[in-house]
Amino acid sequence: MPQSPVPVFETADEISAETSVVVILQTAQAGFGPRAAALDTETGGALSRACSDATVLAESGACIDLITPRAVPARRVIVLALGKADAVTALSLACAGGALAAHLEAKGECAATLVLDPVSGVELPGAEILARVALGMRLRRYRFDMRNRRAGAGADRTLRVQLVGAGGQELNAALARINAIADGVEYARTLVNLPPNHLHPDNFHDHLEPLREAGIDVEILDTARLRELGMNAILAVGSGSVRPPRVAVLRYRGKGAPAQPMAFVGKGVCFDSGGLCIKRGEQMFDMKADMGGAAAVVGLLIALARQGSPVHVVGVLGIAENMPSGTALKPRDIITTASGQTVEVFDTDAEGRLILADCLYYAASRFNPSVVVDLATLTYSVMRGLGSVFAGLFSTDDAIASRMIAAGEKVGERFWQLPLDRAYDEGLQSPFADIRHHAKDMEDGDAPYAAAFLRHFTEDRPWVHLDIAGKELTDKDQPLGREGATAFGVQMLEEWVRTSRVAN
């Protein structure tokens, strides 16, 4: 598997004489703190002259880059603008860190010392400020690359960063958390970025080794076990592929965690051709990423386990390929799901909700969870309805939904709550089965019907359905990541789990 170089962060009390690149973290306030002021003196006032235009420092993420005189030990001093003090947030700091990482890479720099002097007007403590900038640097530096012949192939691209200006114990704790979050995000991105001939139902379990290393129990339910459990919906989805489906069950219980777990269910379709209702060629191109929900669950558990979070979490991943063949699922098939409910199939390209039906029921009935959350790249309609800004959120519990939306706003993964109403059940009625799995002629408004269908398999548990279709990939570089997989949902859920634990 391609390995992305992970930035190395170290704490220091002061700027080392060997430092070649010094980065001053500066809000749009008048004057410098003591360390920056000393550097300004060494450079003959060059820093203060470069920062004399207050509008530059008000632009969070702007990098003011100075090559210093020979008399100054550091050959380069960069002022990283953090914006106006009252507008500084965890997200703006991470984005500023991402901009800094991109700037350092463009300049060919592989080491830097970040310096934070005391700042006024910012609510976050110094350790959190530095850690959030470091998080942005890690996320922006991640890369997935399978090219063997390219300039610099095999070279060490590790970025080494010293952090100066916050208490060691507090900063180390904050760094431990952000590194755990970044570990989860980066691994989820790698899973989605892997091509479908490298990640599929036959080898998915091999790619779960980082979970085992983090102390997470991994159980794989094979075809025989799925049949025993009556999980005929996921078996039907995978019936057209030579690679049979599996379900991965992930369990993590931190020290002091409650007995009742939270359950997270992820759609893991490693490639979605649409089955017999086959997609057009251009629609199929990105369908290696149809397992983005499962990847996000993996990333979340890594993030929680590696920081030793005192929570009890279960993950259930429905892993399959949706392929056309003589044994494939057909429209008008009727399937008896694990819950005992019969489902009439309408569109074989709506395979995700069939997989989730069995996995949601399994999670809800086996583990007695306090809440069930599923993530899935599920419907085109949620993309049409919400565009590129928001992902869709449906929930039976408005309080949970509100906390998730707030968590998403904090980390830049935005969700909009959509209606979950019994009226949508009307479109799911079948004359031959308990329920139809797709509303007839409702392609443009399909997302709420999909959510209404899934609710029938949650055993009346508090439940949240996250339709993240369109958020799993980006076709251009973003402030916190390059072109490719985004791992959308990992940061929001980590923040929601953490704040829910603190609130309780």
Chain centroid to Cα 87, Å, comes to: 24
Q: How many angstroms separate the CA atoms of 192 and 186, rounded?
A: 10
For residue 250, the surrounding DSSP H or E stretch is strand 246-253
In this structure, the strands spanning 76-81 and 217-221 are unpaired
Chain centroid to Cα 428, Å, comes to: 32
For residue 431, give both structure tokens.
Answer: 């004359």
Catalytic residues: 279, 353
Residues 6+ apart with CB under 8 A from 276: 240, 324, 328, 329, 330, 331, 348
Q: How many angstroms separate the CA atoms of 222 and 245, rounded?
A: 7
Q: How many angstroms separate the CA atoms of 321 and 329, rounded?
A: 12
Using H for helix, E for strand and C for coil, what is the string for 416-463? Answer: EECCCCHHHHHHHCCCCCCEECCCCCCCCCHHHHHHHHHHCCCCCCCE
Rounded to 5 degrees, φ, ψ at 288 are: -65, -20
CA separation (Å) from 371 to 34, 313, 363, 390?
A: 49, 10, 10, 23
CB-CB contact of 303 with 184 (8 Å): yes
Q: How many angstroms separate the CA atoms of 336 and 194, rounded?
A: 33
* Closest alpha carbon to 454 in 345, 363, 374, 347: 374
CB-CB contact of 317 with 248 (8 Å): yes
Eight-class DSSP state of 4: P
CB-CB contact of 128 with 38 (8 Å): no
Q: Which residues of 282-294 are buried (b: 16+ CB within 10 A; e: fewer)?
A: eeeeebbbbbbbb
Burial class (CB in 10 A: 0-12, 13-18, 19+), 432: exposed
Q: How many angstroms separate the CA atoms of 223 and 234, rounded?
A: 10
Q: How many angstroms separate the CA atoms of 427 and 441, rounded?
A: 10
CB-CB contact of 310 with 195 (8 Å): no
CA atoms within 13 A on the CB side of 360: 30
